[in-house]
Chain A
Amino acid sequence: MSDVVLTIDGKQVTAKKDMTVLEAARSAGIHIPTLCYHEKLEPYGACRLCVVEIEQRGWWRLVVSCVYPVENNLVVKTRSEKIDRIRKTIIELLLAHAPDAFELVDLAKEYGADRNRFEKEPSFCIHCGLCVRYCAEIKKAFAIGFINRGTKREISFIPEIASKVCWDCKECFPLCPTEALQAAFVLARAMSFPELDYDANVKGK
């Protein structure tokens, strides 16, 4: 397979044909911030934080780098005034949901985002889908999924599956950028299978 040559931030980057712009940038050591990207998972394009500018027919166009495939002679900018402004707003919107998430607070510092810009509505989940996709794609356990739609969308464990598989796995826990997942698990466990908790803590099994 022939390689593709593109320009990212003025630097010549050689990438494989099936790579995305984000992967090409990462392989060349160029940092693009992401929240929903995971190298083992299919790209999802949920957080939009990895937005970059590309040049097409003399015009600059915004694309989401984690789902945009590389092409020959593509010219990419990963930082510009416009990109920074968009990322700042995305971070501010996400901070309304998860005001104290470490990853978001760090990003907010970098981009000068104001965590009090939007009225807080702490649901803690930012719908990155990492836990849902990890459970489905890597573990093939399907213990957690999304329910509802739009502003009411949230993650939800299936108690029958979660009570069997989650106890010995919990591999999705460190993936969550906001720790909403851990809270959802504790809640699901307390409501649906508290006896396992009792066995583990009280009887020391």
Chain B
Amino acid sequence: MDMDKVDQIIDKHNCEASSLIQVLLDIQGANNWLPKEALDRVAERLQVPLTRIQHIATFYKAFSVVPKGRHGVHICLGTACHVRGASRILDTVQDITGLNPGETDLDLKFSLETVNCLGCCALGPVMEVDGKVHGKMAPAKIADVLKNYD
């Protein structure tokens, strides 16, 4: 990640240690994950120990300290989706992308995650890509959805 961008984000929050989580969220938003160099820079400029930043960055699920792909694929495994065949959806996505849940592919295209409920159970089984909900999924439809992303 470009360090100028990190500096810009830190400047936007007036270099205040109390804005640490906001700074991390902005970096996460701009880069999809938190690289070590970015955390070092934040520690140095905000005068916060790196141990504390690491503690926070690994505590919240909103942050990732491992690379994440450009597109986040979330498969709902909540009760309603589960009974409507979410596990078959997950299997198909795993076959197409070659990823296990929690993994990212080498060219940083997709990151696959499982979630426990997306809050739209009537649409189950649900797959969410980059915040867009694809409801009433079937294994045969998945390839059509995923090919729209690059």
Which residues on A are within 8 Å of B, measured CB to CB?
132, 135-136, 142-149, 156, 158, 161
Contact = CB atoms under 8 A, between A and B. Distances in A.
Contacts of A146: 51, 55
Nearest to A156: B54
**Among B51, B52, B58: residue with most chain A CB under 10 A:** B51
Nearest to A143: B51
B49 A145 contact: yes
26 contacts: A132-B51, A135-B51, A136-B49, A136-B51, A142-B50, A142-B51, A142-B52, A143-B51, A144-B51, A145-B49, A145-B50, A145-B51, A145-B52, A145-B54, A146-B51, A146-B55, A147-B54, A147-B55, A147-B58, A148-B58, A148-B59, A149-B58, A158-B50, A158-B51, A158-B54, A161-B50
Contacts of A147: 54-55, 58
A128 to B, nearest CB: 16
Interface in B23-68: 49-52, 54-55, 58-59
Contacts of B59: 148-149
The 10 closest A-B pairs by CB, nearest first: A145-B51, A142-B49, A147-B58, A142-B51, A148-B58, A149-B59, A146-B55, A158-B50, A145-B55, A147-B54
Contacts of A143: 51
Contacts of B49: 136, 142, 145
A172 to B, nearest CB: 13
A156 B65 CA distance: 14
Q: Chain B interface: which size bin? A: under 10
Nearest to B53: A145
A185 to B, nearest CB: 15
A145 B58 CA distance: 11
A26 B44 CA distance: 41
Contacts of B51: 132, 135-136, 142-146, 158
A181 to B, nearest CB: 14
B48 to A, nearest CB: 9
Nearest to B49: A142
Contacts of B55: 145-147
Contacts of A144: 51
A146 B51 CA distance: 7
Nearest to A150: B59
Contacts of B58: 147-149
A115 B15 CA distance: 50
Contacts of A148: 58-59
A144 B54 CA distance: 10
A129 to B, nearest CB: 11
A198 B35 CA distance: 30
A132 B58 CA distance: 16
